[in-house]
Structure 1
Amino acid sequence: MIEHIGGPVLRGGQAQPITPVIRVDAPLVFIAGLVPMVDGKPAAPDITGQTRCVIGMVEAELGKAGCRLEDIVKVTVWLTNKDDYPGFNAAYAEIFGTERAPARSTVISGLIAPVRIEMEVVAACRR
């Protein structure tokens, strides 16, 4: 069972793709930090393309564990530039929506890979 409690989070009068609290009763799956690199290069030049790519990578890794994007309960995101936040958030919201989005933390940080985003997730797999 995955129960979304509260939300969506409102910031600046707009609903964000974040649920403040999620309760789970299912085995947890942890996906290590993924970056949008393809053939040793960034998958896209902009944050929107990199966000879509890394979420696609997350989806593929979840599939290996028998999970789906809907099973994600917590996302941690690192962005290298705070100015990328609106583009990232818009691309993220296209995929997760605002009604049943995972809990999420987003921070600004340097990354080892030459990309603009890194993402790790925790999912509650309901096989």
Structure 2
Amino acid sequence: MHQYLNDPTLAVPVFPGSHIVMDDGYIFLSGLTVTDIQGGESVVGDIAEETRWVMRRLARMLEYAGASLAHTVRVDIHLTNLDTIHTMDAAYAEFFEGHRYPARTCTESARLSGSSNVEITLVARRPGEKDSDNKR
């Protein structure tokens, strides 16, 4: 059975969706930009800081759902300018240990919500007894 949750620290979505959807095996997080996060507007324009703000919040959302970034298996990233990918990559890589990176897609999107420059969504495996090697 699916669970539909909203992060209590974020505004209720203005779109018809949930922040977090979980099934028996996976946690799906909706796309997130810094303008979805209170105070995040202050870093709009700095791709590295936008990425860090979003990744920190996604990590907290996973913790709320009982997992961590170490359980992430898939990430989708949208940038308003693909020329900033190397700067974004450097900030993004800070959140994963030992070069254990999830599968990923990164695309250029001409316009993101709230004038943000990066939007990130992810899928994580729900931790279980058999996942002890993933709990790093």
Tell me if both proteins adopt one fold, taking TM over 0.5 as the criterion.
Answer: yes
What residue number does 1:85 align with? 85
- Paired with 2:38 and 2:92, the residues of 1 have a C-alpha distance of 24
* Residue 42 (structure 1) shift: 1.9
Identity of aligned residues (%): 33
Greater strand proportion = 1
* Residue 28 (structure 1) shift: 0.4
For each residue in 1:7-28, what CA deviation from the matched residue of structure 2 results, as whole angstroms up to 9, or x when unmatched?
A: xxxxxxxxxxxxxxxxxxx710
Higher relative contact order (CA 8 A, sep 6+): 1
What residue number does 2:11 align with? none
Pairwise CA RMSD of aligned residues?
Answer: 1.7
- Paired with 1:68 and 1:97, the residues of 2 have a C-alpha distance of 12
TM-score (norm 1): 0.73
Unmatched 5+ residue regions in structure 1? 1-25
Amino acid at match of 1:36: V
Amino acid at match of 1:59: A
Matched ranges for 1:50-89 at <5 A: 50-89=50-89
TM-score (norm 2): 0.69
* Residue 114 (structure 1) shift: 1.1
Structure 2 residue corresponding to 1:28, chosen from 9, 26, 29: 26
8 Å contact kept, 1:76–1:105: yes
- Paired with 2:42 and 2:103, the residues of 1 have a C-alpha distance of 26
What residue number does 2:124 align with? 123
Structure 2 residue matching 1:106: 3-state secondary structure: strand
* Residue 112 (structure 1) shift: 2.3
Is 1:95 the counterpart of 2:59? The answer is no
- Paired with 2:80 and 2:98, the residues of 1 have a C-alpha distance of 24
- Paired with 1:107 and 1:98, the residues of 2 have a C-alpha distance of 25
Unmatched 5+ residue regions in structure 2? 1-23, 129-136
